[in-house]
Amino acid sequence: MENMNKRDQLFMTIQKNDSSDNLIFHMKNEIRSTKYKPVDYQQLHALTEAKKLASASTELKIRKTVQTSKLSKEQTLIKQHKQVWWQEHQRLNEVRYKMESEIKSLFNEENIGNECLSDLMNFEQELSEQWCTYLKNVINPIQQLREDLKYRQHHISQYSHSHSESNSVKVLEEVDFVKKQLKAVYEQLRLEQQKIENYLSDWSMKILDHSSEERSNLLSELPMELETLECPYPDLKSSILNEFCNITEKYQKKLQDFDLQLEDICRNFQLSDEDHWIYQAVLDQYPGDLCGRRTLYLDMLQRYLPHKSRHDLVEHEKYCDQYRFAKEQRRILILSWNKNRRDFIQKAVLTLAEACATHEMESMLAKDRKKQQEVCADLKAKVLQWRARQEEVTRLEMEISARRREKEEEKEKLWKKKKLLQREEKKKEIRKYLADKEQKWQEMEMRDLRRLEELKTLMAEQSVKDRERVKYRQELLEKRLMEKKEVALQEALEEEEREKRLEALRKQVAIVAQFDPVRMMSDTVASKARMGIGTEEEFILQKPLFTLNTYNEQQTPAAFGEEEFSKKGSQLEILFLPAEAHFQLADLFGYDTHFSSFSDRPTVSVTAVFISEVILLVYDSFSFL
């Protein structure tokens, strides 16, 4: 409103609520309104109480849930602590067994003569004796007292009440006396422990101070390797030493800064020495790769150090991390200084060795240069002498080569003349050879022509003989073919006659059946027998299954004719039998019955001994029709 202009204030309007004015008017005049009703405070009070009870129950449930979650969290933490404690217990046992084995191996027979080891063995024996005395005077009486108390507690119901009260008073007095003795013993042991710890801490401080003094002396002292080395160049050695001093001063300054930083961090520690020892022991129990490591060791530190808050522990943790980081940086600095010092000394030794080698090389080069000049003068005189001799040798060689060249030319001329003579002789020999060869060729040609004429006459005679032989063989072939045709014709005639005889035989044995449709449609005797219709209950083996119309031995020659038996040599050929007869003949004589058509049915030849069986089978097969 203050920021508005006066011009904007003219357009502002005041709005009033008429409902509030009407409500006030109605209340003053005690006029009831249909919009508002009177309030029931008892009902509202009951609703408020119900809401309070519901909120209280909800709050109780929330507290129980929070308490349950705290308990579950506490149990989870304790379970994780137990796992870590068990792992740490196993690790400490392994370390203990390892240390004991190392101590036993140290106290072997080879080191018996060592004075320090003998003192340690005596001290160990003394400690074992003190431990046995402690067990005998302190631990064993306490164990005996505990057993007596358990025994009395178990058998207290057997005594009277007054007697048990008097005994309990005596027992309590005895227990108090034992407690006082134990407290005195524990106090004495605590004092001895504190004394030994102080003694060990003093020695550790002395060792640390001695090591720090050694490091500082090592940083301040010059290395003996550089001081003892000899160098022909004094400026080079002084520059190397100055460089080493500069590097040492830089590292000393950094080391002092780290020492001051460590002292400042130690002053800011929130815990005492004993609490810090507990803190460090708890941190060592939990490995670095453990999940939730910080939560676990802070929880354990709060249990071990209840007089310290979590904030103090976190602050101490921060300072410990700073102290550890600074100490690690200090260690890295010392390691780098040792490495750089070793490298610098090695490089300096190499440099001084190279300088000595260079100095020796220069002196040797000066001597060699003088010797070289003397040698060059001698060589120059020798070269001049050698050149004169070489020129004389060259002149003599040229003269000798000229004489040899003339001699070679003469030899070449003589050789050419000799070569021409040899060529003429070879030409004569070649002409003679060609003439002889031509004569021999003509003789061979005449001989070959004569042989050719003889062969032609022989071949003509042989061709005449061959034509006669072919004609003769053709006549023989035609004769054989005619004979074969005559034989085939004779066989055809015989076959026709045999067919006629067989047809006459078929007509003799044929059965003329009358037209009987009832019999044709009804079941046969064989099918009824196979189906079991009309059969008797008891099978009679001697009774034949079917009736047979056959010939006996006297009627067979009369029926078939005596001529057939005499012509075929007492053999009978039965052709085109029914299928059932063929199967029965196959079972009797053992031949194959697999044929595809009526024309494939086999011809059976039997001797006269089996004629009766064959006739019976034939008529048996016809009975099926």
Q: Cα 68 vs. chain centroid, distance in angstroms?
A: 48
* Across 228-248, average pLDDT: 78
Q: Does residue 166 surpass a pLDDT of 70?
A: no
623 φ/ψ sector (left φ>0, alpha ψ -120 to 50, else beta): alpha
List own/partner pairs for 368-371 with CB under 8 A and 24 or more apart: none
Cα distances from 179 to residues 150, 183, 276, 332, 546, in angstroms, run 17, 6, 31, 54, 130
User: Virtual CA dihedral for 575, 580, 581, 586, nearest 10 degrees?
Assistant: 100
Query: Distance (Å, rounded) from C-alpha 238 to C-alpha 474?
Result: 138
Average confidence (pLDDT) over 20-49: 69
Q: Looking at per-residue confidence, does 402 or 155 come out higher?
A: 402
**142/597: higher pLDDT:** 142
Residue from 263, 276, 364, 363 nearest 323 by CA: 263
- Give the integer Cα–Cα distance in Å for 449 and 456: 11
Q: 74-107: b or e for each residue (b if 16 or more CB lie within 10 Å)?
A: eeebeebbeebeeeeeeeeeeeeeeeeeeeeeeb
**pLDDT in the model for residue 212:** 57
Q: Are 247 and 340 a contacting pair, CB within 8 Å?
A: yes
| Secondary structure element (H or E) that encloses residue 405, with its range | helix 310-509
CA separation, residue 58 to residues 48, 62, 65, 557, 582 (Å): 15, 6, 10, 133, 111
- pLDDT digits 0-9 by tens, 535-553: 555 544 455 555 655 655 5
Nearest alpha carbon to residue 617 among 572, 558, 565: 572
Name the phi and psi angles at 230, rounded to 5: -100, 140
Res 492: pLDDT: 92
- According to the 3-state scheme, what is the secondary structure of 499-522? HHHHHHHHHHHCCCCCCCHHHHHC
Q: What is the pLDDT of residue 496?
A: 92
Q: In this predicted structure, what is the pLDDT of residue 313?
A: 81
CB 615 within 8 A of CB 556: yes
Q: How far is CA 238 from CA 233, 337, 351, 381, in A?
A: 9, 21, 13, 51
User: pLDDT, tens digit, for every residue of 566-578?
Assistant: 444 444 344 444 4
Helix (H/G/I), strand (E/B), else coil: 523 = coil
Work out the pLDDT band at 35, boundaries 50, 70, 90. low
Helix/strand/coil for 313:
helix
What share of the chain has pLDDT > 90, as a percent?
A: 5
Are the C-beta atoms of 546 and 620 separated by less than 8 Å? yes
Task: Tell me if 303 sits within 8 A of 270, measured CB to CB.
Answer: no
pLDDT at 574 (0 to 100)? 41
Q: In angstroms, rounded to a whole number, what is the distance separating the alpha carbons of residues 500 and 508?
A: 13
State the pLDDT at residue 478: 92
Residue 204 has pLDDT above 90, yes or no: no
Q: How far apart are CA 470 and CA 193, in angstroms?
A: 145
Beta carbons within 8 Å of 113's beta carbon, 6+ residues apart: none
Tell me the backbone φ, ψ of residue 554, rounded to 5 degrees: -80, -30
Q: Between these two residues, 29 and 391, which has the higher pLDDT value? A: 391
pLDDT at 497: 93
Q: Please, which pLDDT band fits residue 616 given cuts at 50, 70 and 90?
A: low
pTM of the model: 0.43
Spatial contact of 562 and 583, defined as CB atoms under 8 Å apart = no
pLDDT of 485 strictly over 80: yes
Residues 6 or more apart whose Cβ sits within 8 Å of residue 535: 528, 529
Q: Note the pLDDT of residue 31.
A: 57
Give the pLDDT confidence score for residue 235 in this predicted structure.
79
Q: How far apart are CA 27 and CA 512, in angstroms?
A: 147
Contact 219, 330 (CB under 8 A): no
Average pLDDT, the chain: 75
Residue 621 contacts residue 577 (beta carbons within 8 Å): yes
pLDDT beyond 70 at 24: no
Q: Quote the CA–CA distance of 512 and 625 in Å, as a whole number.
A: 11
Distance CA 172, CA 464 (A): 164
Distance CA 302, CA 314 (A): 11
What pLDDT score was predicted for residue 495?
Answer: 92
Average pLDDT on 446-475 reads: 88
Phi–psi pair at 605, nearest 5 degrees = -110, 120
Is the per-residue pLDDT at 394 higher than 50? yes
Q: Which residue type sits at 623? A: S
pLDDT for 593 beyond 50: no
| Whether pLDDT at 619 is above 80 | no
Which helix (DSSP H) or strand (DSSP E) does residue 607 occupy?
A: strand 604-607
Highest mean pLDDT among 286-300, 527-541, 592-606: 286-300
Q: What are the pLDDT digits (tens) for 413-444?
A: 888 888 888 888 888 888 888 888 888 888 88
- Selection from 616, 556, 614, 608 nearest residue 589 by Cα: 614
CA distance 489 to 439: 75
Tokens of residue 444, six digits = 């061979």
Query: What per-residue confidence (pLDDT) applies to 386?
Result: 86
